Structure 1
Amino acid sequence: MALNIKIIPVTPYEQNCTLLWDDETNEAVLTDLGGNAAEIWHIIQKKHLNLKEIWLTHGHLDHVGGVVAMRELTDTPVIGPHCDDLFLLEDLSNKTREYAKYGFEFSTNFLPTRWLNEGEVLSVGQYEFSVLHIPGHTPGHVVFYCEREKLLIAGDVLFKESIGRTDFPRGNTQDLHHGIRTKLYRLPENVVVIPGHRETTTIGHEKIYNPYVRAE
């Protein structure tokens, strides 16, 4: 019995879409489906998984741009992010059209099946993930933490020795630093962090080596 993890880089920005599944129940979720929907659907079918939900950390196009295409293949509920990212989802068609020159697929706008708030709990099979709201990169950014597996799906909040940009519309550096220090850095040091881009890290490593936000 285990929680299986497959990180699938998608879009020209190589965003880490993550496929999580319980190998006892074959129930699966996708986090941050930014693109490559047909390819990912093929992986899910090949593994004979039951896709329960799509979870979104925030509304940037490289994290949500494949949702509409996936829902044309399978009518899967879309959960999150926090409602403060509504303005990003309402502008998705414009953004994907604008970024087509960089190789992004066009997507129409969409709304999630439901928004998320701090303290909610999501599940895939027998594994529960707590929702933490950490604004700063975007106002509605959330992350997903599985205490049982010591696993954090961090989106664009925390990277290996870096943090998310705050120079986008409605970004806020102070909010991002505060959320990392008061919520993420209080998690156990052996928690594995899957960021929105690049390689994984741990909470313990970032508390020591992250030059942007050091532990207090």
Structure 2
Amino acid sequence: MSLKYQVVPVTSFAQNCSIVWCDETMKGIVIDPGGDVETLKQTIESNGIQVVNLVLTHGHLDHVGGTEPLAELLGGIDIVGPHEDDSFWLQSLNGQSQMFGFPPTQAFEPNQWLNEGDTISFGNETLDVIHTPGHTPGHVVLHSQSAQLAFVGDVLFSGGIGRTDFPKGDFDTLISSIKTKLWPLGNEVRFVPGHGPESTFGRERASNPFVADEMPLY
């Protein structure tokens, strides 16, 4: 398997920024660069990775706050995602930074919005884009079929789910996204959430109090 990744918790929210790369070509992406861009740059350089895109799962500040500075540090690479329904979150970044005590963060638009069925490619690796609204309306999940691995942002956590009390969040929509978009990918799929430890879809189906459906572990 050529897909490698390293999780770097960033910001005071300990948001899991994922540096993901193809170890056959050393080309990669950075998922949700929320802040601490010098740390991210050092990690990228120490691993010898050529980052081709920054990819965003959704528009919350702790996931996107370092995006433009890191893109500039890496030579002006493209910013991709999330789904366009999160545009209002990216346009409100200055207000978000004041609310949460973050450094001032200016609104921006990505070079490309993502839609269900799109793919993200780097080297010999490809991630499938899955639109998973509920936490935010434009949230996306990135899934590697070859590695049986998903980067799920704030949709699902080990033992929990994303908050739905933010503007345009919706509990029923989030539960539907998890059960209809993530569970069919397979119980064995490992996932990296936006915060906290990794888990598998099977483990959450068996034990997560919000979405457990009594599927036996096997």
Q: Give the partner amino acid of 2:124.
A: Q
Name structure 2 gaps, 5 residues minimum.
none
Alpha-carbon contact 1:137-1:172 (below 8 Å) kept = yes
Q: Are 1:123 and 2:124 an aligned pair? A: no
The equivalent of 2:86 in structure 1 is 85
Write out the 4+ residue segments of structure 1 that deviate beyond 6 Å after TM superposition: none
Superposed displacement of residue 47, structure 1: 2.0
The equivalent of 2:70 in structure 1 is 70
Structure 1 residue matching 2:98: 3-state secondary structure: helix
Distance of 1:2 and 1:147 partners within structure 2: 12
Distance of 1:69 and 1:99 partners within structure 2: 19
Q: Deviations 1:133-162 (Å, cap 9, x if unpaired)?
A: 010000000000001100000000010011
Distance of 1:49 and 1:145 partners within structure 2: 20
Q: Deviations 1:33-69 (Å, cap 9, x if unpaired)?
A: 1001111112212222111001100000000000121
The equivalent of 2:189 in structure 1 is 191
Q: Deviations 1:69-91 (Å, cap 9, x if unpaired)?
A: 11231211111000000000001
1:167 equivalent among 159, 165, 168: 165
The equivalent of 1:59 in structure 2 is 59
The equivalent of 1:182 in structure 2 is 180
Aligned-residue RMSD, C-alpha = 1.1
Superposition map of 1:7-26 within 5 A: 7-26=7-26
Identity, % of aligned positions: 42
The equivalent of 1:40 in structure 2 is 40
Q: Give the partner amino acid of 2:125.
A: Y
Alpha-carbon contact 2:2-2:125 (below 8 Å) kept = no
Name structure 1 gaps, 5 residues minimum.
none
Structure 1 residue matching 2:185: 3-state secondary structure: coil
Distance of 1:47 and 1:187 partners within structure 2: 30
The equivalent of 1:138 in structure 2 is 136
The equivalent of 2:156 in structure 1 is 158
The equivalent of 1:205 in structure 2 is 203
Distance of 2:104 and 2:29 partners within structure 1: 23
Distance of 2:94 and 2:45 partners within structure 1: 28
Q: Give the partner amino acid of 1:7.
A: V
Q: Deviations 1:85-138 (Å, cap 9, x if unpaired)?
A: 0000001012112322xxx23211111011000011111211111111010000
Q: Give the partner amino acid of 1:6.
A: Q
Q: Give the partner amino acid of 1:70.
A: L
Distance of 2:122 and 2:149 partners within structure 1: 13
TM-score normalised by length of structure 2: 0.95
TM-score normalised by length of structure 1: 0.95
